[in-house]
Amino acid sequence: MKSVWNCLLENVGEWRGSFASLNLQGEILSEQPTIVTLTASDDRQQAKIVVDYQRQPERRVEIPFASVSRAYIGFDDGAFSQGSMQLAPFGEFGSEQGLLADQQRRRLVWQYRDRQLQGLTLIREALPGIDPFQQPALTVQDLLGTWIGEAETRYPDWRSPERMTTQLRLEQNGDQLRSQLSFGDRTIESLAQIQGSQLVFTGKQQEVTVWLLPGGVSCACPTELTLRSPFQLELGWWVSRDRRLRLMRNFDASGAWTSVTLVTEQRVSD
């Protein structure tokens, strides 16, 4: 298991792509081409991130740093989650999560105000020579079948990670999607309404919406965060037909951030 600092340095490189602002229907409102460069010193003890906005060069941002926030958790492959540590009844709340595979990166930013989702930012990036925009939008058909996964949960108090095997079965019946998730000795079944490029899961403590987005990305969260109810913010990436990554930032009923879970899944049947 790598240190959190070395997990972060898995993101070293020049990432070319764009920041796309989305509305609550998952539609792109605006898109800004970007180059995000992360470099490390020779001794790997210091790092610097530079953000170049291609259409607004005056917005160039440079941030040197030598440590990471307590609100940051990274994984050995470079996946990461950072953001708010506590939900409050009012005020700003948000998170950024990122997944890496095949010299590409998918990131997503959640923005809440007074517990209401205000917007999403989708970031598609790749190292030089790779096109981060060639992958189309995710569809329901891409997700159907049985997926076997390995889940790793890491905690902000640095206790040892927990690992377990998962199985996810997704079936479509008309305009409904049935989900059956098994992990450990638990099985959770849920039903979603398919509404275009959105899946709406009801019947839980909080209604959860899944957006199917460009670049093979999915995003799952409540559009309104309910006090005294646990919740997750999930970023998914359909890397290829039989390979998917999911990253979940988990909060308990008090609104406190408790852990981050990375699931690496392989489809075993349609």
Contacts of 134 (CB under 8 A, 6+ apart): none
Cα separation, 47 vs 7, whole angstroms: 13
Q: Report the DSSP beta bridge partners of residue 76.
A: none
Mean pLDDT by 10 residues, the chain (270 residues): 95 98 96 98 97 93 96 98 97 98 98 97 98 97 98 95 97 97 92 97 86 98 95 97 98 98 96
Which CATH number goes with the domain that contains 235?
A: 2.40.128.20
Q: What is the dihedral of CA 98, 101, 104, 110, to 10 degrees?
A: -20
Give the helix/strand (H/E) hosting 108: strand 104-113
Cα-based distances in Å from 24 to 98, 120, 140, 186: 20, 8, 18, 32
Q: What is the pLDDT of residue 136?
A: 96
Q: What is the pLDDT of residue 204?
A: 64
Contacts of 162 (CB under 8 A, 6+ apart): 152, 153
Cα separation, 193 vs 115, whole angstroms: 23
Tell me which residue range forms the domain holding 145. Answer: 4-269
Q: What is the pLDDT of residue 206?
A: 83
Cα separation, 171 vs 104, whole angstroms: 29
Cα first-last separation, the chain: 33
Name the 3-class secondary structure at 11: helix
Q: What is the pLDDT of residue 41?
A: 97
| Count: domains in the chain | 1
